[in-house]
Amino acid sequence: MTQDDQYLRLLSIFHYVVAGIAALLSLVPTIHVAVGIGLASGAFTDPREPFPFALVGWFLIAFGSIFIACGLTFAVCLFLAGRFLSQRRRYLFCLVMAGVACMFMPFGTVLGVFTIVMLLKESVKAQFGVQDGTGAGAGSAQAG
């Protein structure tokens, strides 16, 4: 096992760990959704109030749900990137997810930078089957 293999194995494991952390943190807006459901149903307010609490409730439900969906999507994609790293497949997906992970401070930033550094090495590109440097594998269709 070469040093690159060991580093890619570690990066794969760290992708799983950061994906778990991201999934857990993406469920925090569940509190907002629960409060929004309470406001929209009128459980917390008097229905004769002039302020539209139901509208605020629907706002909390909508944005909380969007944040949860985006966070879980990010976590699944990060998990898949870790899986593809261990299988030496989908080079471009792994590279893009490494860049996206840099926005997830502080763990994703460290993970993303190290992943980008590893994926840009020629020996690692060869393991993924990337010859032309564009991220297209050996099985991609060649124009011309």
Give residue 44's pLDDT.
78
Give residue 136's pLDDT.
53
Mean pLDDT by 10 residues, the chain (144 residues): 90 96 97 94 78 90 97 97 94 96 93 95 91 55 41
d(CA 6, CA 138): 24
Give residue 137's pLDDT.
52
Give residue 87's pLDDT.
93
Q: 13: closest CA among 121, 104, 115, 120?
A: 115
Concatenated DSSP letters of 93-119:
HHHHHHHHHTTSTTHHHHHHHHHHHHH
Give residue 142's pLDDT.
41
Q: Which residue has the tokens 């890619």?
A: 8
